[in-house]
Amino acid sequence: MAKRMQGIMESIQTLCSGDHGNEGFMQDDEDEEEENGVGRLTSWAELLGFGLAVFSEAIAPQLQCFCDRTLGFAVGQGGSREAWIKAVAMAMSLVRKAVKKGWVGALAPAARVMSQALSTASEPITLDIPVPFKAHKVETPSVTVETSAQELTNFFKTMFIMRRMEIAADSLYKSKFIRGFCHLYDGQEAVCVGMEAALNDKDCIITAYRDHCTHLGRGGSVLEVFAELMGRKDGCSLGKGGSMHMYNKKGGFYGGNGIVGAQTPLGAGLAFAQKYLKVEGVTLAMYGDGAANQGQLFEAMNISALWNLPVIYVCENNHYGMGTAEWRSAKSPEYYKRGDYIPGLKVDGMDCLAVKQAVKYAKEYALQNGPMVLEMDTYRYHGHSMSDPGSTYRTRDEISGVRQERDPIERIRKLLLSNNIATVAELKTMEKEAKKEVEDALSKAKESPSPDSDELFTHVYRKGYGAKAYGADRKEVVVKLP
């Protein structure tokens, strides 16, 4: 049997190289449809599902017959051991005959479809980045970037999910499911999605409080984000952190920090650990244009340059630090130059591909030479947080202007349509699926329970190493910290 399977696989391989062979049992017009549909299969799951569907369609009658004869025989004979042995022998002879007759031919269209779809999906597409990079003490990376249909579609899907998630968080806050503070990332999705395309799981990210989408990018799920926002048990930080404190250990996402600028020296420390342990990864320490004026950032830059740490300082410049425009808070709003002795790049942060290119370039640089600063020129549509309408310090025209001209999702949509990677209908389907995914996660998160009241005392110190904590009255209440 193994030899037969090997034979079948070899014939698939020869077919993949372009040989058509016996058409098998497929109709001609169906075949054509499959060929046209090739360009639209971009995910592995889809490919496999489609291939199997084709295959099973092709051999369904034969498979039916095969099962009838072999199993029917065995059962008819009473299901005894001898009957089953005879049935297996019969099956093997049937397969031998079928192979001779051309069963293999039925695999041909399926194999061809799959191979063509695969090659198209991962075929490199070369695109030019429209907005050029600006460099400080370093060469600019090339504006020609290689991507693929699969990558672009993933960009679209991920950014759309992020956008829907942030908008859902907005309405959740307004209906008081989320209390406290909620800082939304919509408009800036291209930064984290583009970054993820250039990073792997050996790299670490640490950011400030606008972290919902960064958490998703690092491997978190929408359910975890929603549950954490609502302070429920299923949240990524067990409901104890909230909007500003999302972490993901496996994905190397170190949060989620409330005090601006405080995360940059932490990022330098993470990079030191990576360098020391020879992990071949970099740390991206992200901060905003408001935090760019904090002293801690310059201290971190100094030590990372002194010790050549593989850290990339990513300034997400959305031009407003809460309500203060960048020109009113910074003498030099050219944040990529603020590293002074650290080289920097200014990147169009609304273009996934530009971000990907820049981060790839910076990663190579950081692993060899030390820190680098990337300034992502981006924009947020919402205000600083949910209590900020966002229109007292900027005009609505400005917001809608950016939304029309520079929206990251629209940009990818145009690329997908112009490069014939997807049709309008398919994009709509993807959007619908994304919306459904977000809604499902939302309803599931709403059902999640609040953390137990014991959780108030857990994780203050390491389990078992904590001292006692006195409660409201130091003498009356003693709680041993778990």
Partner 1 sequence: MVRRRFSFGLVSRLSSPIYGRSPCSGGIWTPCLGQKRSFMTAKDLVESEEPEKKVTNRINMFSAINQALHTVLDSDPKSYVFGEDVGFGGVFRCTTALRDKFGRHRVFNTPLCEQAIVGFGIGLASMGNRAIAEIQFADYIFPALDQIVNEAAKYRYRSGNLFNCGGLTVRAPYGAVGHGGHYHSQSPEAFFCHVPGIKVVIPRSPSQAKGLLLASIRDPNPVVFFEPKWLYRLAVEEVPVDDYTLPLSSAEVMRKGSDITLVGWGAQLAIMEEACDEVSKLGISCELIDLRTLIPWDKELVEDSVNKTGRLLVSHEAPVTGGFGAEIAASITNSCFLRLQAPVSRVCGLDTPFPLVFEPFYMPTKNKVSMIQHSKHTNCRISFQSMCG
Closer residue to partner 1 (CB): 387 or 404:
387
CA distance 319 to 326: 5
Q: Report the nearest approach of partner 1 to the CB of residue 49 (Å).
A: 42
Torsion of CA 169, 207, 457, 236, to 10 degrees: 50
Q: Does 389 bind partner 1 (CB under 8 A)?
A: no
Place of tokens 């169009």: 348
Q: Report the nearest approach of partner 1 to the CB of residue 339 (Å).
A: 17
| Three-state SS annotation for 188-241 | CHHHHHHHHHHCCCCCEEECCCCCHHHHHHCCCCHHHHHHHHCCCCCCCCCCCC
Q: Does 469 bind partner 1 (CB under 8 A)?
A: yes
Containing 97, the helix (H) or strand (E) segment is: helix 81-101
Q: Does 126 bind partner 1 (CB under 8 A)?
A: no
- The residue within the footprint of partner 1, chosen from 17, 27, 404, 453 (CB under 8 A), is 453
CA distance 378 to 347: 9
Q: Does 460 bind partner 1 (CB under 8 A)?
A: yes
Closer residue to partner 1 (CB): 101 or 179:
179
Q: Does 330 bind partner 1 (CB under 8 A)?
A: yes
Q: Does 474 bind partner 1 (CB under 8 A)?
A: yes
Which residues, 6+ apart, have CB-to-CB distance to 318 below 8 Å?
187, 188, 288, 289, 378, 379, 380
Torsion of CA 325, 330, 332, 337, to 10 degrees: -100
Q: Does 447 bind partner 1 (CB under 8 A)?
A: no
CA distance 48 to 14: 19
Q: Does 368 bind partner 1 (CB under 8 A)?
A: no
Closer residue to partner 1 (CB): 267 or 370:
267
- Choose the binding region for partner 1 from 54-62, 94-102, 325-333, 349-357 (rule: CB under 8 A): 325-333
- The residue within the footprint of partner 1, chosen from 4, 174, 328, 446 (CB under 8 A), is 328
Q: Does 137 bind partner 1 (CB under 8 A)?
A: no
Question: What's CA 204's distance to the chain center, in Å?
Answer: 14
Q: Does 321 bind partner 1 (CB under 8 A)?
A: yes
Burial (0-12, 13-18, 19+ Cβ within 10 Å), 239: buried
Query: Which positions from 222 through 241 interact with partner 1, judged by CB under 8 A?
Result: 231, 239-241
Closer residue to partner 1 (CB): 163 or 215:
215
Q: Does 450 bind partner 1 (CB under 8 A)?
A: yes
The residue ranges that bind partner 1 (CB under 8 A) are: 179-181, 231, 239-242, 244-245, 258-261, 290-291, 293-296, 321-324, 328-330, 392-393, 450-451, 453, 455-457, 460, 469-477, 479
